[in-house]
Structure 1
């Protein structure tokens, strides 16, 4: 869908972009949001802190308008209204009353409900007090509007009406965001600015329908971080854990989840998991290699034997039938086909005829168990890795099955529909990666995904008609907060974020978390550190990654990181105390940790080069490398144990130093450094830029690289001591 309803109003975004980029303020953070109308990622806010003609009083003078809902509405609406109540309390320090199935005699009320499910909303429509014709039949759409004299004894109502369950839920969380509650209020400890008076500006406020139907995340590769954290705090991946995930998804306008699956089973580990997902309107699925709503972890306890359809089809069908029976009527997207056991490729003998038979048998189970028209059940076939080869060789699935295209695990889309391909009723989806376990090396530690790169690949996907499912592998969820926000915001409305607005997105996201005093500085830090990390992912670093000899490459990389770290630390010093934990986890830690890691590897490289040249400073470089290695552990300790009073302990347990092949090391391993015996003499050595040799050992004449008066290049000459006794020299 590409209509203008997804903008809050019609705006000159080009002019807004330039005005925002030139905006500066010296106001302190704690009063930054006390302005008439704040700017949000979805456009100008419809919430103000000043009363003006026509505004609706949400809270003022120590009182809040009551929140009115119907018991006949979806259970999720009654659940999420309590989150809205809490959010209003966070901002104003007073919680509104929740009223069910009654109209309180009050000057102003907030009326929340789903069209066709809430008798109160339907009564307003039937009486002509509000026109919701453009809401009827829409997907996940909401309208927030002030209605005059809605019921006897009520002066005004702020109506939040949804076209369906998620539309209503999105409408409530949209208001939470508008009053100043970040989607990351819990998951990143983002503070809420106190604003005692809140007013809603007149108008018909809506985000329209989402451009992408299903928008979600995949919690994957969850050990040792997210898994250990979930066990420590919730006893595992239980409903207490997942409720936090569901609320985050709704705050970010997401609706789809592939749950953690290395050792967990969403449906059987805690039977409240699927029930709670359904209440919150989260459309559950299983990963690309877990067919028919069964977790891979369930197969061995099931006692099914070989994961092989040629030799064990009966047991597999029994296993899958139970998965669909357990799914019941809950909204789900069913993964079809098979991969090998444990997300491996099928055997070399696997043929297209067998895979097509597997899909046909699975669809027969689906239709038989549910009793539904098979074409009405959302299904997906993931063309992941070698599965795409089967498709390229001619394998096909029925037209109503969504083809889930995939990237190459490194953020590069592998295949897209051609513009002249016939339309599919099931459409196309995209499975994207921020995290990966596999060759040549896994990358799981920190965010290495610039939003410009994400934009390029997902924009390309969207323009080729990939708009049914977007799902991204986010690893441990933390520390991928920033790119998760962008992925889901972009999936809702790609047209709102052309390439030229990406710098503005970074600024607005920084403002949403930290206010506007330092939004430009924080936006630059976020942009640059992900750009630097994407040069070479941290797990791929080695002492020889960057050259010490040519073009000052290693020196430039370390200097870039260190300048950025200084900027991040200077900004941290200006942050009010209540923002320090959020700033550390979202901004400061990744910059400090990556600056330190790159410095470590370059220092080890210097140590090894100096050892070859017999430099007296070889030992100094070895000691400095050990200090940097220890600093890495100290930073992780601060994240795990000090930040937020240890709330996120284990989230930085991921190893990243000491890779020797694709799999992560069991523990961080200090890179090998060289030690030499330095003689008790004074012996001068000379090295020049662009040469690995040193003089006089190399013999011959030492010649600097060419320079010219036009480019005015500058080159260095290093004079070093090969002994313990100092010497004097002149230049």
Structure 2
């Protein structure tokens, strides 16, 4: 072959390749176009729903039309299918197996999809004339609804468009991704919310603002709630049931609305057989005592089962007291368990009486709540088809889950979880502060333990817990995205980006996670250090303004920064987003800030009064101002945002508990010397004239305060400062007329300036007016300070800031896994996997994964304390406890159990501080290196941090650091 012939052939091949490439690109482009469904004003689309379909098909068709109008400013026509097969440029809505949809979708579908519940198909299909139509078809009515609302989200209508006033961006046209999609079946079968403790928000808002025609939560309110549930791909409601609200069935339209929306109606643990005892059990009926009043109670239940036989319902079985109280009329656990078995048998007879379906196909739930757990464990005859619903302890930690035997029941199991709670030791009904990381971890634990039949979230009034509700229901619908490490951060950023845009999403996510982190340590509702049931008065907090870097001002500083960030974002937003930001972000952040300021400024006023600091009166005024600020922002919420739409939805003092009261502060300053001085105390008692010890290589920083003790002005300055001591300020002037009542001077050591000749433990002087105060400097050196993963005793404490700071982590079939976002340290070490049995307590060194820590101490004592801090979680199953094996140096292994019982005082303190603490004695027989080994026993244990202390002083309450401005969860 000649060279020129070769070139000719090659040129031809290249031309062919070019033609083929262009052709393939064109085909690909055309295919891509065919997978996009356009909606334009000049080519109006129609929405057509199946004339043989369900009522929900019609409802979601009209809601989709409304959503399109929100985007396009014009509303498509909604039509009922009339048999016309020439439909074009239409959105067709119906059941996938219906004749209507089959006309257009002739694909051979995997039988797995057809057998799925609550699933949907979306895609483009052509009519007989080759004109495009967009199909939304579900395997059932709710599946169709979820498909419709997935399209609403795609076009930019947020599920919270109404409940949080999220605006919709206007467009001239809409492009819907029309690539075929077959959704998966939901991860959890029944997914929903419990409206509870509605007395201070939802009920007064519905009664006075939204539904005044009946002065209550009625069908108008429920239709909005049901729409929200469907948009969030949920399906279940436990209706509001407090005395302020009439029973759900009191208004005949309520169950009708539920039936129209295909919402499953259940009831709480205290409301058997869809009855609201608080409203519906009349005094004339006698005692709610099945033992002595069986006939009346059965008649009472019979009426409701008959009335509800045509609605979608889950029947709570069993019996408790009238309202969240123990069973009446029984004198022993044995008697209670036997009676409960009888009650459930009778209830199932009623269900069979009014339902043609087999009893094992009628949804029933048995909620193991409070004292019911004791009866269940004693032994009741619970049919296997009844769903076993486990509960958290009301504070976010699941009390127990099904073991391998319990998991075999055909009814499966579920979880009733709280994001809002009324009760002992203290309510949290005002602001929602349950950590998303905790929600994720506890519900992943539940899912892994096969609690997949029912997830119900107590959301209180809905409004405060909007994001928590979104997260919980998203997990219940599709657990898979939450198996990823950064799933919570990703979920938050996606949630906020869809509302406030990409530029604001990261800032808001960081802001809210700092908000959760501070509340994790102490919720705003707990800042009075008071309790309820019985209710106690407020008292001083456990935060200390002198110890550990000034815990009070550190916490105040963090909250002030959050408030400033929230203010900044709020001001930068366009007017149409301000109301939404106020509801979801600004009010909770500023409310938490003001509540902390109210109590912590009061603390400063009272503690500074003891030193005769004139400034005490300043902090008294700040405390009172914070209270006034809570009033102001609550009035904004109720009266001004969204033109008064939410009037009466927010109360700043649910149940009027003492923590919400205006602070009572009585300050009296006895003016004496013009100025005073106070020292930072680190670890042990204030020696009055010396700084805590500086340790080489640790970057320690300490402070003293100089302050006025009477009105006027005074100068201060230092004398004889050692050259190696760095000081933030050498002299200053305090003036009451300029509101400069005190000054904090910080000290650190420049170790490069210390020579062998220096007297490193020396004294310098502070001159205040005519007085001179000697101040001693102490310096200490560790020879092995280069150990990055070691912990050192300093000023009487050896602090392991996080259990994740281990030196060694052995692995096996079970492991210690770091979990980000949890605990005071935002990084706990958790024993996993959950499906394993507890390890034995006989062969630690050979069989148990272990964490090793290294400590260096400077004390020799037999009375040192090892303090272990963990999440206040509960045993994973009835076969577990909350144990670890603990070995100090080469001494014998001790078993430490974090388990608490009932509503003990230990449990109360654990949930109020969100921490479980156990102490054990350790012996420091020598200075220098010590080894701590923690052996795994029970899966589910989550270690937070560790202390070794050599004195009797109290532990710090907080783990905040002045320099720790980073977001710890990242």
Same fold (TM over 0.5): yes
* 1:654-694 Cα distance to aligned partner (Å, 9 max, x none): 416xxxxxx64289412221221443x65221111118999
Matched, 1:349 2:331: yes
Q: 1:229 aligns with which of 164, 187, 205?
A: 205
Matched, 1:727 2:727: no
Instruction: Tell me what 1:86 maps to.
Output: 66
CA distance, structure 1, for counterparts of residue 44 and residue 624 of structure 2: 58
CA distance, structure 1, for counterparts of residue 451 and residue 526 of structure 2: 31
Instruction: Tell me what 2:663 maps to.
Output: 671
Instruction: Tell me what 2:763 maps to.
Output: none
Alpha-carbon distance, 1:394 to partner: 1.8
Instruction: Tell me what 1:548 maps to.
Output: 545
> Which 10-residue stretch deviates more, 193-202 or 327-336?
193-202
**Residue aligned with 1:489, SS:** helix
Alpha-carbon distance, 1:636 to partner: 0.7
Kept after mapping to 1: 8 A contact 2:123/2:180? yes
Alpha-carbon distance, 1:370 to partner: 2.3
**Residue aligned with 1:281, SS:** coil
Matched, 1:487 2:472: yes
Instruction: Tell me what 1:181 maps to.
Output: 157
Structure-to-structure mapping, 1:29-40, within 5 angstroms? none
Instruction: Tell me what 2:458 maps to.
Output: 473
Q: Please, which runs of 5 or more residues in structure 1 have no aligned partner?
A: 1-49, 657-662
Structure-to-structure mapping, 1:558-707, within 5 angstroms? 558-655=556-653, 664-665=656-657, 668-679=660-671, 682-690=673-681, 701-707=688-694
CA distance, structure 2, for counterparts of residue 273 and residue 106 of structure 1: 36
Q: Please, which runs of 5 or more residues in structure 2 have no aligned partner?
A: 1-29, 529-539, 719-970
Structure-to-structure mapping, 1:107-122, within 5 angstroms? 107-116=88-97, 118-122=98-102
CA distance, structure 1, for counterparts of residue 480 and residue 375 of structure 2: 34
Aligned in 2, Cα 1:252/1:346: closer, same or farther, shift over 3 Å? same
Alpha-carbon distance, 1:163 to partner: 0.3
Instruction: Tell me what 1:395 maps to.
Output: 380
**Residue aligned with 1:604, SS:** helix
Q: 1:321 aligns with which of 302, 310, 313?
A: 302
CA distance, structure 2, for counterparts of residue 505 and residue 573 of structure 1: 25
Kept after mapping to 1: 8 A contact 2:197/2:242? yes
Structure 1-normalised TM-score?
0.87
CA distance, structure 2, for counterparts of residue 553 and residue 206 of structure 1: 54
Q: 1:195 aligns with which of 162, 165, 171?
A: 171
Kept after mapping to 2: 8 A contact 1:63/1:96? no
CA distance, structure 2, for counterparts of residue 147 and residue 639 of structure 1: 47
The structure with the larger Rg is: 2
Alpha-carbon distance, 1:106 to partner: 5.7
Greater RCO (CA < 8 Å, at least 6 residues apart): 1
User: Number of aligned pairs?
Assistant: 666
Q: 2:448 aligns with which of 456, 463, 467?
A: 463
CA distance, structure 2, for counterparts of residue 478 and residue 99 of structure 1: 35
| RMSD of Structure 2 on Structure 1 (CA) | 2.2
Kept after mapping to 2: 8 A contact 1:62/1:94? no
Aligned in 2, Cα 1:87/1:352: closer, same or farther, shift over 3 Å? same
Alpha-carbon distance, 1:151 to partner: 3.3
Aligned in 2, Cα 1:570/1:267: closer, same or farther, shift over 3 Å? closer
Kept after mapping to 2: 8 A contact 1:611/1:676? yes
**Residue aligned with 1:242, SS:** helix
CA distance, structure 1, for counterparts of residue 321 and residue 473 of structure 2: 31
Kept after mapping to 2: 8 A contact 1:618/1:674? no
Alpha-carbon distance, 1:616 to partner: 1.3
Q: 1:532 aligns with which of 505, 518, 522?
A: 518
CA distance, structure 2, for counterparts of residue 616 and residue 508 of structure 1: 49
Kept after mapping to 1: 8 A contact 2:525/2:659? no
Kept after mapping to 2: 8 A contact 1:67/1:111? yes
CA distance, structure 1, for counterparts of residue 41 and residue 68 of structure 2: 14
Kept after mapping to 2: 8 A contact 1:549/1:692? no
* 1:234-275 Cα distance to aligned partner (Å, 9 max, x none): 121110000000000000000000000002344433111111
> Which 10-residue stretch deviates more, 349-358 or 429-438?
349-358
Aligned in 2, Cα 1:503/1:691: closer, same or farther, shift over 3 Å? closer
Alpha-carbon distance, 1:371 to partner: 3.9
Instruction: Tell me what 1:501 maps to.
Output: 487
Instruction: Tell me what 1:659 maps to.
Output: none
Structure in which a larger fraction of residues adopt helix: 1
Kept after mapping to 1: 8 A contact 2:50/2:80? yes
Aligned in 2, Cα 1:177/1:266: closer, same or farther, shift over 3 Å? farther
Alpha-carbon distance, 1:325 to partner: 0.6
CA distance, structure 1, for counterparts of residue 709 and residue 183 of structure 2: 69
Structure-to-structure mapping, 1:396-475, within 5 angstroms? 396-419=381-404, 421=406, 423-475=408-460
Instruction: Tell me what 1:254 maps to.
Output: 234
Aligned in 2, Cα 1:465/1:691: closer, same or farther, shift over 3 Å? closer
CA distance, structure 2, for counterparts of residue 638 and residue 496 of structure 1: 37
Kept after mapping to 2: 8 A contact 1:434/1:449? yes
> Which 10-residue stretch deviates more, 302-311 or 50-59?
50-59
> Which 10-residue stretch deviates more, 610-619 or 447-456?
610-619
